[in-house]
Structure 1
Amino acid sequence: MSQQVSVSTAAIASASASPSVSSTAREEARAQATGLQGPKRRIVYVGLYETIAIIVSSLIFMAIGQKASDSGVMAVAASVIAICWNLSFNYLFEKWEASQSVKGRSVLRRVVHAIGFEGGIAAMLIPLMAWWFNISLWEAAVMEAGLLVFFMVYTFAFNWGFDRLFGLPASAQALTK
């Protein structure tokens, strides 16, 4: 799938590079974007990501000695928190990304995205895991560190694959004349 969009007017092309361009020009530029976009993109993204995450995190919790029932509940609770964080974080990330003059998603931008997302989720889940599993914050942090390593790689790979399958979001597409 092409990562560039042909646009017929210079005003639309400049809308992606200039934060001072009118909202009408930005809307026109977004309308020219290819691939899955907007709320549909976020819903499909979160649904696929979290379904896989619930299954894998339940298995990881059980593999490190937690009861299946506790593992499943924690995985679902973590998923609900992650969905809320995912929607918020990705909205803000794409808003920031749209204001950048360099378009596309480089490896560095993908790494920054993964670190930002996973760092935020870890800050929320460590206290919850300590309470739910009745373990110390240190034990929960160690447990989260293991999950973090897995989810950092998973988030990076999932985002890359999702963008390849569904196209880049409008915020990351380079617009040309």
Structure 2
Amino acid sequence: MRTAPDRLRHAISFEVIGLILVIPLGAMGFGIHAGDVGVIAVVGATIATFWNYAFNLMFDHGLLRMRGRLDKRLSERVLHALLFELGLLVATLPLIAWYLSVSLMDALILDLALVVFYLVYAFVFNWAYDRIFPIPTDPGAIPPQRPGLSQ
């Protein structure tokens, strides 16, 4: 299990590196000013954080009420992911369209590009993070030192 400081390092580094990547890529890919991409990315990440908390709470309560359990089958995990992304899309789409003064279709294309980017980024980031900062198998164990690094 990861420690609270490790989880904090993970969350902060995920968001900071994500913004460092998505701002110039979004600006180049869509011809939007980097500052505008930054605003969209920061606001989107903030909305996603609050939505994540609220959605997971609602989903778990619904699952407990309907199934009497909290563990999720594969089909429930797929439904969970799709509903989460749909809710996030509903929340962010009008804001993107309004902020950039573009059509809902143009905002949808940008929003879907962000979803795809963060899907791939989350996979790569978490794989790399787990390689750089491995989880100790024994809760009381100290993580192994990487070659060339001292305490």
TM-score range, shorter chain: 0.5 to 0.7
| 1:83-162 matches, cutoff 5 A | 83-99=49-65, 100=67, 104-152=71-119, 157=123
Shift of 1:154: 5.7
Relative to 1, partners in 2 of residues 1:47 and 1:117: Cα closer, same or farther, differing over 3 Å?
farther
| 1:11-22 matches, cutoff 5 A | none
Question: Could you tell me how far apart the structure 2 residues matched to 1:98 and 1:58 are?
Answer: 39
Relative to 1, partners in 2 of residues 1:49 and 1:104: Cα closer, same or farther, differing over 3 Å?
farther
Q: Which residue of 1 aligns with 2:47?
A: 81
Relative to 1, partners in 2 of residues 1:115 and 1:150: Cα closer, same or farther, differing over 3 Å?
farther
Question: Could you tell me how far apart the structure 1 residues matched to 2:59 and 2:33 are?
Answer: 36
Question: Could you tell me how far apart the structure 1 residues matched to 2:31 and 2:81 are?
Answer: 27
Question: Could you tell me how far apart the structure 1 residues matched to 2:52 and 2:18 are?
Answer: 13
Gaps of 5+ in 1: 1-34, 167-177
Question: Could you tell me how far apart the structure 1 residues matched to 2:21 and 2:60 are?
Answer: 27
TM-score, with length taken from structure 2: 0.61
Shift of 1:135: 1.2
Listed one character per residue, the Cα deviations across residues 83-112 of structure 1 (whole Å, up to 9, x for unaligned) are 111110111223334453566444323222
Q: Which residue of 2 aligns with 1:58?
A: 23
- Pick aligned residue for 2:37 from 67, 71, 77: 71
Question: Could you tell me how far apart the structure 2 residues matched to 1:48 and 1:89 are?
Answer: 23
Shift of 1:80: 1.4
Relative to 1, partners in 2 of residues 1:130 and 1:103: Cα closer, same or farther, differing over 3 Å?
closer
Shift of 1:68: 1.1
Answer yes or no: is the 8 Å Cα contact 2:40–2:96 preserved in 1. yes
Answer yes or no: is the 8 Å Cα contact 2:26–2:37 preserved in 1. yes
Report % sequence identity: 29
What one-letter code is carried by the residue in structure 2 that aligns with 1:137? L
Answer yes or no: is the 8 Å Cα contact 1:50–1:83 preserved in 2. no
Q: Secondary structure, in 3 states, of the residue corresponding to 1:66? A: coil
The structure with higher relative contact order (CA 8 Å, sep 6+) is 1
Please give the root-mean-square deviation of Cα atoms over the aligned residues, in Å: 3.9
Aligned residues: 128
TM-score, with length taken from structure 1: 0.53
